[in-house]
Amino acid sequence: MTLAPPHSPKPKAVALISGGLDSMLAARVMLDQGVHVEGINFYTGFCVEGHTHAIRREARERPKRNNALWVAEQLGIKLHIIDVIEEYKDVVINPKHGYGSNLNPCLDCKGFMVRKAREWMETNGFDFIVTGEVIGQRPMSQRRDTMPVVARESGAFDRLLRPLCARLLPPTLPEREGWVERARLFDFNGRSRKPQIALAERYGITEYAQPAGGCCFLTNAQYSRKLADLWQTRGEKRYELEDILLLKVGRHLRPRPHFKLIIARDDGENNFLLGFRQRYTHLHATSHAGPLALIDGNAGEEDIELAARLTARFGQGRDADQVTVAVTDLAGHTQIRHVRPFTADEIPQTWYL
Amino acid sequence: MTAHVLDVRHLLCPMPVIRLQNTVARLPVGDTVEVQATDPGVLHDVPAWCRVHGHQVLSVSETAGEIRVTVQVQGS
Ligand code: SF4
């Protein structure tokens, strides 16, 4: 237990802001109690926010806002966005507490983020950390028995306050020191969203991002399957930012163990994949409009023929007898192939990742 | 007062705003930073970040997929 006075007359809290409603409310509750609040948001590379706007056309048509920044603006607080891409790899690759239903290491992730927030708090002379966690809200990381694990493993201990469920937990330092009033904190519990929605109404908050099962792609079954496939074919659990961004883009088909094909699904993805041309053998139809496809792995002569037929399948020439496909290798040499597109029935479902 | 250029072309959001934040943290009030970017998210994120931190957006332009946003550092 730590017992130190606050660093200034007005207590200062750093609030983890995800862009969703719960963390917004938690910060708002603190502001209501006269606490100076600044937000912190971590970019892991797996976040649902952000670059999908730059990639998919359908995402481009939605408002291009960063929800964490938007929340900060609504609350009138500063927001510090921290790049944790490198450090986060260890959380995803070696989670001490294992994975959730997909490759989401939620408990380790929470501990990691609160630890980073604690380091930020110490460096910047803040007094405590605030999160929007609610007991029972998520099966892995937000349970009564995991709350102390996060507080302990992050090193935040009793400087970690969860205003939305604090009254169900032992009093923390900010409560004991009177920096915040425990009676004006909450006892939200369980998966229902009703108490949060009612509190939002009380604060006049009418617009907020809908929680969509998690704040990152690791909770997505299809995405996790592609990541598992990446590790399995590499023979080790390792990734770079480029790998995990590419997993968000295009159709991924693995017709052979030693290579897969990434095929753009719209113009936005086509443009995005164009940026990777120099580093991958790539294909596109020249006789018909169609997508760009990248080959990830070592494709031999027969494999390239197969990749060309698959690329033809996903373009305008899918019903043609023959499609001309340009294949450019890593050295920049282009060869032209005339292929018969695969029919839908000829592509085994098991090829789709 | 110095004018700086921050080249974040081909970086995807939120990296441009993170780079801007880290650059501005080292600059005195009055300096300007011209953010050069390609991700259209920058058109929204950089002004939002400036509003949140009290910095001023001096100009925004977009030509042929190249985005330029000039920001002036203000005191916090
Ligand atoms: S959903 Fe993703 S970001 Fe959220 S706690 Fe789980 S692993 Fe971390």
CB contact at 8 A, A352 and A320: no
The confidence band for A49, taking pLDDT boundaries of 50, 70 and 90, is: low
What was the pLDDT predicted at A212? 47
Q: Which residues, at least 6 apart from A186, have a Cβ–Cβ distance to it below 8 Å?
A: A29, A163, A164, A165, A166, A167, A195, A199
Mean pLDDT of chain B: 95
Q: CB burial class (10 A; 0-12, 13-18, 19+) of residue A266?
A: middle
Give tens-digit pLDDT for B42-66: 999 999 999 999 999 999 999 988 9
Q: Which of A50-59, A86-95, A192-201 shows the lowest per-residue confidence on average (mean pLDDT)?
A: A50-59
Tokens coding A119: 């380091």
What was the pLDDT predicted at A138? 77
Closest listed residue to residue A97, CA positions, set A154, A28, A40, A172:
A154
Beta strand A128-130 with A12-16: parallel, antiparallel or unpaired?
parallel
Percent of chain A at pLDDT > 90 equals: 81
What was the pLDDT predicted at A209? 78
ipTM for the predicted complex comes to 0.95
Give tens-digit pLDDT for A137-167: 877 677 888 999 999 999 999 999 999 999 9
Give tens-digit pLDDT for A213-256: 457 899 999 999 999 999 999 999 999 999 999 999 999 999 99
Q: Report the top-level CATH class of A12-217.
A: alpha beta
Percent of chain B at pLDDT > 70 equals: 99
Percent of chain A at pLDDT > 70 equals: 92
Q: CB burial class (10 A; 0-12, 13-18, 19+) of residue A115?
A: middle
- In chain A, what are the domain boundaries? 12-217, 249-351
Query: What average pLDDT does range A174-186 have in this prediction?
Result: 98
Interface check B67 vs A, CB under 8 A: no
- Beta-sheet strands, E only, within A118-275: 128-130, 160-161, 251-256, 259-263
Interface check B59 vs A, CB under 8 A: no
State how far the Cα of A133 lies from the Cα of A172, in Å rounded to an integer.
15
Does residue A327 surpass a pLDDT of 50? yes
Q: Which of A266-270, A313-317, B7-11 has the highest mean pLDDT?
A: A313-317
Does residue A60 surpass a pLDDT of 60? no
Give tens-digit pLDDT for A68-100: 999 999 999 999 999 999 999 999 999 999 999
The CATH superfamily label for domain B3-72 reads TusA-like domain (3.30.110.40)
Could you say which of A53, A79, A245 has the minimum Cβ distance to residue B52? Answer: A79
The helix (run of H) or strand (run of E) holding residue A143 is none
What was the pLDDT predicted at A48? 78
Could you say which of B14, B48, B51 has the minimum Cβ distance to residue A43? Answer: B14
**Ligand 1 neighbour A255 (Cβ under 6 A):** no
Interface check A57 vs B, CB under 8 A: no
Q: Which of A38, A52, A62, A64 to mutate to test the interface with B (most CBs of B within 10 A)?
A: A64
The residue among A308 and A138 whose pLDDT is bigger is: A308
What was the pLDDT predicted at A6? 63
**DSSP states of A164-203 as a string?**
TTGGGSPPPHHHHTTSS-GGGS---BSS--HHHHHHHHHT
